[in-house]
Structure 1
Amino acid sequence: MKTNEESVAAGHSIDPGRWREAFEVVMSRIAGRFAQVETRLRGGRLVMGLMSDLPRKNCWTIAEWAGETTPHGMQHLLCRASWDADAVRDDVREYVVEHLHDEAAVLVVDETGDVKKAPPASGSSVSTPAPPAGSRTPRSPFISSMWASAGTRRWNWELYVPRSWTGDPGRCRAAGLGEDTVFATKPELARMMIERFLGPG
């Protein structure tokens, strides 16, 4: 029976040993961004779950896939655990540019959305399938940026928070957003991500 790591590698048509080695290189690169070892290890399991062939990806399904009995650990990782998400993002950017450098590569900015099945809470959902075109299913809109060369690698995203929310500190607080969250249009969020990517050169 294949391990989860072998299943992920097989799904990407990569030798499992080589895949595991590359994965460990990335994880060692971001290891210092986590306050506790268990948080870092769970972060690794979360990433593997996101790369798996699970038909639906959220804290419940990924926790079960990773051998955890409840989703509480994954939820804690995303909502309350101590780790520097911005620094991890920047580490991943540097890794992508170093290893996937291509003169023909472009940075793609796009709008996407995750299905909302409960009152929205920042960080409470990992990923859910977007509803079909024309669907009335509520969505949490994101602006994402991807490095596109031979394939695409999502690098960054920003949650679009409507003005009706940013003008209501209580609503922001209930959703897990800072009360000082300010309104930004989608083009402004896109420009911010582009500047963030280009800033280090």
Structure 2
Amino acid sequence: MKLGEVERLRGELAGFVADVFGSLPRRDQRRWGACYLRGLMLDGRRNSIQPMAERLPDGNMQALQQFVNQSTRDPLPVRRRIAERLTEVITPEVWVVDDVSFPKRGRASVGVARQYCGAVGKRANCQVAVSVHAVTDAASCPLNWEVYLPREWTDEPDRCRRAGVPDDVVHQEKWRLALCSTRSPTGR
């Protein structure tokens, strides 16, 4: 979408943000959540923080980065509300569990390791997320997802700490992540 189109939807988006981000304890978190959503809606080659902030008139790279990566909040109520809204709209026929890979360079992003990367069809340096989708023959909506943390990460607690992985996170096989994801966020 072009910036003008997104700006015209600001009123509708405000209602969505109030509903979905209502569980966030601070007003600034809700504000930057709205800004982040507008950034995701904008046309652009990359949806990472820096290019999104540059495309938004009120974009602030540091504030958006804080919202996405360091802001203290429980993501489950937000995910649950998004899942409830989506399943009201599409009335799922099936639930699909999938793993999605994201090719990456370097070793600093959480979970990046040399592993099978479906995006390139072979072993490569990537992140993997396990997701649960509500699906019909006309739509597929991700409802919950977890980043897969390879054992090599959990074997290096300092690496996890530097990347912001909470101390209580342990390695889980992908199938276990999928089972945990199917129990939440909708509770079905």
Same fold per TM (> 0.5)? Answer: yes
Instruction: Give the number of aligned pairs.
Output: 182
What amino acid is the match of 2:96? V
**Structure 2 match to 1:114:** 102
Distance, in Å, in 2 between the alignment partners of 1:114 and 1:143 is: 12
**Structure 1 match to 2:73:** 83
**Structure 2 match to 1:65:** 55
The TM-score with structure 2 as length reference comes to 0.81
Structure 1 position 88, deviation (Å): 0.3
Instruction: Please list every run of 5 or more consecutive structure 1 residues that lacks an aligned counterpart in the other structure.
Output: 9-15, 124-129
Distance, in Å, in 2 between the alignment partners of 1:168 and 1:132 is: 26
Change (3 A) 1:151 1:5: farther
**Structure 2 match to 1:30:** 20
SS in 2 for 1:91: helix
SS in 2 for 1:75: helix
- Cα deviation digits, residues 26-61 of structure 1 (max 9, x gap): 211134322322221211121222233322110111
Runs of 4+ in 1 over 3 A off after TM superposition: 134-137
Contact 2:79 2:185 in 1 (8 A): no
Match among 118, 126, 138 for residue 139 of structure 1? 126
1:161 has 2:161 as partner: no
Structure 1 position 107, deviation (Å): 1.6
SS in 2 for 1:74: helix
Of 182-191 and 113-122, deviating more is 113-122
Please tell me the root mean square deviation across aligned C-alpha atoms, in Å.
2.9
Structure number with higher strand proportion: 2
1:186 has 2:185 as partner: no
What amino acid is the match of 1:112? V
Instruction: Please list every run of 5 or more consecutive structure 2 residues that lacks an aligned counterpart in the other structure.
Output: 112-116
